Chain A
Amino acid sequence: MIDISSLTKSYSGFRALDALTLHIPDGQLFCFLGPNGAGKTTTIKILTGLVHPDAGTAAIQGMDVQNNATEVKKIIGYIPDTPFLYERLTTSEFFLFYGELYDLPSQQIITERNRLFGIFGLDSHRNALVRNLSHGLRQRLIYATTFLHNPPVLLIDEPFVGLDPYTIKLIKSMLQEHTRKGGTILLTTHILAIAEDIADRIGIIHEGQMVADGTLATLQADHQGANLEDIFLQLTHAGKRENAHVNA
Chain B
Amino acid sequence: MSTHNAIWKKTFFQVGNALRAMLRQSRLKQGFILLFIVIFEAFLLFLFRDGFRFLSAFGGAGVIITGRIFALFFLGLAWMLLLSSLVSSYATFFGSPEIPFLLVRPFSMQQIVLYSFIKATTLSSWAFFFIVLPFVGAYAWHQALHPLFILWTFLFSIPFLFLCSSLGALFVLMMVRWLPKPGKVRIFIMGSLVLGALFFLTMRSSPNDIDEMQFNLATIIPGMRLAVHPLSPGYWMSEGIMTLTRGHMQRGLLYLALLSASAATASIMVEQIGGKIFYAAWQRVRAAGPTRRKPIMFPKLLHIRKLLPADMAAIMAKDIRIFFRDPAQWTQALIFFGLLGLYFSNLRVFHYDQLPEQWRSAMTFLNVFAVSAVLSSLGARFIYPQLSYEGHSFWMLGLSPTSMPRIVAAKFLLAVITTSLVSLSLIFMATRMLDLETQIQQAALALIAAVCLAVCGLSTGLGAIFVNLDEHNPAAIVSSFGGTLNIVLCLCFMLAAILPFGTIFHIQQISLTTNPGIMRFLPLAYLWLILITLLATIPPLWLGYRSLMKRDF
Contacts and interface: CB of A to CB of B under 8 A. Distances in A.
Size class of the B contact interface (CB-based, 8 Å) = 20 to 34
Q: Which of B21, B98, B289, B292 has the most CB of A within 10 A?
A: B289
A117 interface: no
A242 interface: no
Contacts of A16: 289
Given A50-B103, A74-B106, A84-B100, A12 B5 contact: no
Interface string A62-78: 00000000110110101
B288 interface: yes
B6 A101 contact: yes
Nearest to B292: A12
The SS class assigned to the B binding surface is: helix
Interface stretch (A26-34, A86-94, A184-192): A86-94
Contact of A84 (B1, B17, B101): B101
Contacts of B289: 11-12, 14, 16
Interface in A7-53: 11-14, 16, 45, 48-52
B104 interface: yes
The SS class assigned to the A binding surface is: mixed
Contacts of B21: 88, 129
Nearest to A94: B10
A84 B98 contact: yes
Contact of A103 (B2, B101, B280): B2
A230 interface: no
Q: Which of B98, B106, B291 has the most CB of A within 10 A?
A: B106
Contacts of B292: 12-13
Size class of the A contact interface (CB-based, 8 Å) = 20 to 34
Contact of B106 (A45, A84, A97, A102): A102
Interface string B82-99: 000000000000000110
A127 to B, nearest CB: 10
Interface in B138-181: none
B106 A88 contact: no
A86 B289 CA distance: 25
Contacts of A48: 103-104
Nearest to B289: A11
Contact of B97 (A70, A84, A89): A84
18 contacts: A50-B100, A50-B104, A52-B279, A52-B283, A70-B108, A73-B106, A73-B107, A84-B98, A86-B98, A89-B17, A93-B17, A97-B6, A97-B9, A100-B3, A100-B5, A101-B3, A101-B106, A102-B106
Interface of A: 11-14, 16, 45, 48-52, 70-71, 73-74, 76, 78, 80, 83-84, 86, 88-90, 93, 96-97, 100-103, 106, 129
